[in-house]
Each structure stands twice: as structure tokens, then as C-alpha cells.
Amino acid sequence: MFIDEARIRIKAGDGGNGCMAFRREKFVPRGGPSGGDGGHGGDILMQSSLSHNTLVHFRFNPEWKSERGGHGLGSNMSGAAGEHTILKVPVGTLLYNDDTGELIHDFAHAGEELVIARGGRGGRGNQHFATSTHQAPREHELGRPGEALNLRLELRLLADAGLVGFPNVGKSTLISRLSAAKPKIANYAFTTLEPNLGVVQVGDPPYEKSFTVADMPGLIEGAHLGAGLGVQFLKHIERTSVLIHLIDVSDSAITAESAKGETSDPVANYNVITAELKSFDPALAAKPTILVASKADVANPEKLKKLTTFAKRKKLPLFLISAVSGEGIEKLKYAMAEAVDLHRTIEIEPPVKAPAKRKPHYPPPAPNARGRG
């Protein structure tokens, strides 16, 4: 199940209460205060991981809490600190404060770790309130509550190249030929209901290269307004470096079941999809684009000629392929690899640097639970 949005509530652990106690050992008259401090509550951390590719583990577990700190004990014994909770998210996850809409962090690299909510500070025991004039203090502090937040997680796939086009133009078949991905393939519109990711290998070891390609569900006219499935998945191609625009140049009949806005004119079909990308985000339409004429084994010569003339006028690279017979697949694969190398903006691995030490940060101590400050 592909889940790309989730809302969760997190609560860091509360601090333990400080203890009020006095020494009562034999032969130790007036032993003095010996109340220990409460332990600090556990933090909640979030970490990006390449082993996760969906947010499904948050959809059905919306509440996450860390362990609270232990209470202080006599004999100056401090309570145990609460265990931290680490939540793992896929690379490409955007973390928002659900109450304010503020972007907290963009997990663009693997292994990134962020403290989302800090545990409460443990309260001080009565041993800390002893003075020369107040030798039997009965004051102690309560633990501070841990931070609580409502969060919204939004996953945007990190792919180097994205396949776009009308439904049923051969995107799923193409990704199955380029990579080991096994998307659902059928002869009807909207076969693809969720994005598919594949890894494409180019060249032979030790000079081989690889890049990721995403197969998006088919776009139709009005997708940016919610028509079809496009508006739900257009965000997943925002991070791609290159767009692969597939256009059907075959003589397949345009029926009532065909995608809304699709015509027999390949140039008009290109303009419709480009307009949808631009309406959703102008930066999408400005991305480097490779034009692909699909279904070459049954191509209409007039359509192909018109698309070729248009590509030359727009100075767009055009490749004629047949995902069924394999014609033009290798040539397209190398062209995609070259374009990705030239325009790649995604770095999955984080830059090498020494891990930063996380200093504990706690709010100021609470007013005394009882007695003097």
C-alpha cells in the first residue's frame, strides 16, 4: 500500500519528580536531606531511512509517546532517564507542524536525524534546597512535561527522471523494460493508481551508472484542479531532474473511454500535458524534457512526421521507441542517463562530515511544588 501523507501526534516523555527524603542510618543523627532528582523524559527523534518507501506505518499508528523519566529516590539516588523514541521516515519526507503549517524539516538525505520533541526536565530533590540556615528542607520539584506536537508528514519521491503523459501511452511498459520494476500493465486508462519507482542500470562494470525513474499515473486535462489522479501525484515529480514525456503516435482509436482531453493530434496532446504541469507548478514545465514517441511498431507516419517537426522547432530531443518490441529502448536509456548526469539535483547520500553532538536543552525549572523557591 502506497501511503504518501500521514498525520500524527507525538508526545515526549515527562520528567520524573524530585524526591523528598532524609537520611535515617543508624548512628547518623540529623542526617540531613537525601532526596534524589527525577530523570529526564525521553526525546522523540525522526530519522530518514532508505529502508522505508512509504508512510503506511504512521497511517495506522497516529500516536507516538516517549518514556517518562523515573522519580527520584532516597539516598540521593536519581531516577532513570526515559528511553528515546526514534521514528524512521522515507528519504524525501517533508515534516510540517500541522497546527501552524510551518515546514519543520525536509529529509532530503539518508541518515538525517532530528530531535522533534524534547523530553521534560526532571525535578530536583530536596537535597538541592539545603542551606546553612535551612538544613531540613522539605521542598522538591515536580518534573516538567515533555513537548507535544501535531505533525503532518508528506512524502515526495526522490527520482532522477519522471515519466509523464496521458493514460495508456506506455509509461508502465517502458519502466518495466528499463528497470526491474513490475507495475500493473493493462489495456485501459488509469491502470497505474500509484507511483512506481525503478532503478535503471547503464553500462557495464566497473563503469556502470544508475539512476532512478518514476512512473506517474496518467495525467488528463484539468489534473491540476483535481481531475483524474494527477493532482494527487504531481507533487512526486517536483524533485525529478528530467521529465520523459511519452506521446502515443499509434493509430489506436479515440473512444469515449479515452482520457479526457486526449486527441489524435500528438502536438495537441503534448500541449495539454505541459499546460497541466505549468498550472500545478511553473517549475515543472521548465524542467529539461525528453520527448518519446511510443508504440513505434504501429506508428502512424503522419503523426510521427508532425511530432518530429514540432520537436525540431522546440529543440527537444525526440526518441522513437516500442516498449513491446524493444526498439529504441537502449538508445533512450543512454540518453536519459546523460541528461540525468547533466541536470541531476538529487543527492541521496548526505555530505561526509563529523556527526554533530546534540546538547540537551531543557526549559527552566518549574516553581517549587511546595515550600520555598
**Among 125, 118, 137, which Cα is nearest to 78's?**
125
Higher pLDDT among residues 171 and 339, named by residue? 339
Last residue of one domain, picked from the residues 115, 137, 155? 155
Q: Are residues 195 and 334 in the same domain?
A: yes
- pLDDT number for residue 52: 82
Q: Please determine, for residue 335, whether its predicted confidence score (pLDDT) is greater than 50.
A: yes
pLDDT tens digits for 345-358? 655 444 444 444 44
Q: Are residues 327 and 214 in the same domain?
A: yes
Higher pLDDT among residues 342 and 264, named by residue? 342
Residue recorded with cell 514540432: 310
Q: What is the mean pLDDT of the chain?
A: 80
| 321 lies in some domain | yes
Last residue of one domain, picked from the residues 91, 125, 155? 155
pLDDT tens digits for 112-139? 999 999 999 999 999 999 998 898 899 9
Q: Are residues 34 and 145 in the same domain?
A: yes
Number of domains, the chain: 2
Higher pLDDT among residues 140 and 278, named by residue? 140
Confidence of residue 275 (pLDDT cuts 50, 70, 90): confident
- pLDDT number for residue 110: 85
Q: Are residues 196 and 339 in the same domain?
A: yes
Amino acid, single-letter form, for residue 304: L
**% the chain with pLDDT above 90:** 32
Q: Are residues 19 and 100 in the same domain?
A: yes
| Angle at CA of residue 279, ends 156 and 196, nearest 5° | 30
- pLDDT number for residue 142: 94
Q: Are residues 17 and 59 in the same domain?
A: yes
Confidence of residue 42 (pLDDT cuts 50, 70, 90): very high
Q: How large is the angle between the packed helices 266-280 and 301-314, nearest 10 degrees?
A: 50
Q: Are residues 193 and 46 in the same domain?
A: no
Segments of 50-84 assigned E as strands: 63-65
Cβ distance 285 to 278 under 8 Å?
Answer: yes
Give me the mean pLDDT over the 307-312 stretch: 91
| 349 lies in some domain | no
DSSP element (H, E) containing 85: strand 85-90
Query: In terms of residue numbers, what domain contains 168?
Result: 161-343
Amino acid, single-letter form, for residue 277: L
Q: Are residues 315 and 242 in the same domain?
A: yes
Question: What is the 8-class DSSP label of residue 313?
Answer: H
Q: Are residues 40 and 150 in the same domain?
A: yes
Q: Are residues 149 and 167 in the same domain?
A: no
Cβ distance 198 to 178 under 8 Å?
Answer: yes
Residue 158 CA to residue 231 CA, distance in Å, equals 18
Higher pLDDT among residues 324 and 290, named by residue? 290
| pTM for the predicted model, two decimal places | 0.68
44-53, 121-130, 220-229, 328-337: range with highest mean pLDDT: 121-130
Residue 275 CA to residue 215 CA, distance in Å, equals 19
Q: Are residues 191 and 248 in the same domain?
A: yes
CATH of the domain at 17: 2.70.210.12
Confidence of residue 57 (pLDDT cuts 50, 70, 90): confident
Q: Please determine, for residue 90, whether its predicted confidence score (pLDDT) is greater than 70.
A: yes
Last residue of one domain, picked from the residues 155, 188, 215? 155
Residue 305 CA to residue 294 CA, distance in Å, equals 13
Confidence of residue 254 (pLDDT cuts 50, 70, 90): very low
Ordered DSSP codes for 260-283: TT--S-HHHHHHHHHHHHHHH-HH
| Angle at CA of residue 238, ends 232 and 241, nearest 5° | 140
Residue 362 CA to residue 354 CA, distance in Å, equals 24
Q: For residue 279, report the phi and psi dihedrals to the nearest 5 degrees.
A: -70, -35
| 50 lies in some domain | yes
